[in-house]
């Protein structure tokens, strides 16, 4: 079965460029503004959208994304409301892929079968669940695939050739290569090593490889786009939200603040042509 994620990467490949994958936290800084931000992302140049599922113990996230989750939870965001946000987005946009990213606990509490049914109905296309290793594929990965959702796995600089086949076994949609070790927003990657790492992953899979961590502006996006099928940006966007707030609340500048960063990064991605000579 071909999914929205598959179709979007095919379309971007036909354009001869990398895809831009944007991450924002669902419900940050409040549910209404969050929906407005998500609606604005494709217009600003986003090809795929990762939507964070707020969680109280986000151990793989850096301070900026942790703070975004805290703001969202304080505003009353929940997994059920996250799915409602996706449904509202889908009423206006039936093409842009939506990937939910986060941790297994909220899904477990919701109930895996109920969550997958509701996510599919809402218009979710894929899942990234950072704390479920391949050894736990029976918990969520395989049921998600059976429900028609892509399950996107993370690979890191420490994922060696011996481990890669296990990581890729049930991965679909694309592979998310985390270009630095550690938490989100922590460091700038070595772009030469990124290109080599993507090539190594591609020896094991035909899936697109999107690279994240360390994308802050057009220049860093352009550097990563040269060696990857997709460029992922998250911390820069949640920081744009934070910097736009007044006393912790959204302002008239909030949506445009995020859109401006996306437009800048999208321009950097699009400067790299991947058309065959």
Which pair of structure tokens corresponds to residue 29? Answer: 């800084």
Rounded Cα distance, 273 and 101, in Å: 29
What counts of helices (H) and strands (E) characterise the chain? 12, 9
**Beta carbons of 124 and 143 less than 8 angstroms apart:** no
Backbone angles phi and psi of 48, in degrees to 5: -135, 150
- Measured in whole angstroms, the distance separating CA 240 from the mean position of its chain's CA atoms is 17
3-state helix, strand, coil in the chain (%, to 5): 45, 15, 40
The residue annotated as part of the active site, out of 6, 28, 47, 50, is 50
- The two structure tokens encoding residue 103: 């941790």
The answer to whether 238 touches 64, Cβ cutoff 8 Å, is: yes
Asked if 54 and 24 count as a contact pair (C-beta separation under 8 A), the reply is no
Based on the residue annotation, tell me whether 61 is a catalytic residue of this protein. Answer: yes
**Which residue in 6, 47, 61, 118 is the catalytic one?**
61
Phi, psi at residue 179, to the nearest 5°?
-80, -10
Give the active site residues.
50, 61
């Amino acid at each position: 079965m071909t999914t929205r994620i598959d179709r979007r990467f095919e379309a971007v490949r036909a354009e001869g460029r990398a895809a831009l994958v944007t991450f924002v936290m669902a419900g940050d800084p409040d549910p209404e503004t969050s929906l407005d931000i998500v609606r604005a992302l494709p217009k600003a140049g986003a090809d795929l959208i990762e939507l964070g599922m707020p969680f109280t113990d986000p151990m793989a996230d850096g301070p900026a994304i942790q703070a975004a989750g805290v703001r969202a939870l304080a505003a009353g965001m929940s997994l059920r409301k996250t799915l409602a946000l996706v449904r509202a987005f889908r009423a206006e946009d039936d093409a842009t892929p939506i990937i939910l990213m986060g941790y297994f606990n909220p899904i477990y509490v919701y109930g895996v079968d109920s969550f997958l049914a509701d996510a599919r109905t809402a218009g979710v296309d894929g899942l990234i669940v950072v704390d479920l290793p391949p050894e736990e594929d029976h918990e969520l990965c395989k049921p998600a695939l059976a429900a028609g959702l892509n399950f996107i796995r993370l690979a890191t600089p420490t994922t060696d050739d011996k481990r890669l086949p296990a990581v890729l076994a049930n991965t679909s949609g694309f592979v998310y290569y985390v270009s630095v070790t550690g938490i989100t927003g922590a460091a700038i990657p070595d772009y030469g090593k990124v290109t080599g790492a993507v090539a190594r992953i591609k020896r094991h899979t035909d899936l697109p490889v999107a690279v994240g961590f360390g994308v802050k502006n057009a220049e860093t996006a352009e550097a990563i786009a040269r060696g990857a099928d997709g460029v992922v940006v998250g911390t820069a966007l949640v920081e744009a939200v934070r910097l736009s707030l007044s006393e912790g609340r959204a302002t008239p500048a909030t949506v445009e603040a995020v859109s401006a960063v996306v437009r800048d990064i999208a321009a950097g991605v699009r400067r790299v042509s991947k058309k065959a000579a």
